[in-house]
Amino acid sequence: MTNDDTHSPRRPHPIREVVMLSLACLSYSLLSYLAPVTKHAALAHAHDIARFEARAGLFMEPGVNRWLSTHPGLAQLASIQYAATFFLMTGAALLILWIKAPAYYSRARWTLVVMTLGALVTYWTYPLAPPRLVDDFGVVDAVAHHTSSYSQLFGTLANPYGAMPSMHTGWALWVAFMLGTYVWRSWWARVLLSIHPILTVVTIIATGNHYVVDAAAAFVYFLLAWLFVTRIFRTLPSKVRTFRKTS
């Protein structure tokens, strides 16, 4: 294990972490809601995405959504998964990392923050209507139909045209990667953890909330955030040691 992995093994204060992360989530929701987007631009981008996916043979959203609609039990389970796991799994992963991998907690947390900030910038600059809001796609809003309480609770401070990238996918990838890299490293644990992002991708598409490219973009945002934060954390310890020697 290298020095950059163990330079700060102490756990951050739990109350401070809870307060700061809660404020960060609230700020994210508020800034996402305040994004200066228009329905016209969001729908135009949606048709651009659909044409791109059609050319690439990826435009499966309406077909998958229709199949899900014919299976009400699965549609309800998918809607619950979409509504419940976004914050619950992420919060649980943060707690597990804080308890079991304090040396990696800050790195993991900052990766989550940087990735989410990147998504927020995209919501402001590239509004995208999800399939469920494009009338001529014929997509049913499964989550609103099966979990109306979720739609009412989070619809108040939600940006309906923030489909690109899918942060449901980004956060699910973050959960699986961080726990599989820093906590449970056996092959079978990693296989089990990978079920979460895979199931999330299927859910966001089948329920009409995202396009295939939204999920692909989320992977890129996560990867870039992790590489950036990892680079920073590997650079900081050497600079701290140099500073101490010259002080």
Instruction: Give me the pLDDT at residue 242, please.
Output: 44
pTM: 0.87
Contact 193, 111 (CB under 8 A): no
- Please tell us whether the domain made up of 58-241 is placed in CATH 1.20.144: yes
CA of residue 9 relative to chain centroid, distance: 26
Domain coordinates in residue numbering, the chain:
58-241
Instruction: Give me the pLDDT at residue 54, please.
Output: 97
What is the pLDDT tens value at each position of the chain, 247 positions in all? 344 444 446 788 888 888 988 888 888 888 888 888 889 999 999 999 999 999 999 999 999 999 999 999 999 999 888 988 888 999 999 999 999 999 999 999 999 999 999 999 999 999 999 999 999 999 988 887 766 555 555 555 678 899 999 999 999 999 999 999 999 999 999 999 999 999 999 999 999 999 999 999 999 999 999 999 999 988 876 554 443 444 4
In order, the DSSP letters of 39-81 are HHHHHHHHHHHHHHHHHHT---HHHHHHHHHT-HHHHHHHHHH
CA of residue 184 relative to chain centroid, distance: 21
Contact 200, 169 (CB under 8 A): yes
Q: Distance between CA atoms of 49 and 151, rounded to whole angstroms? A: 25
Instruction: Give me the pLDDT at residue 154, please.
Output: 54
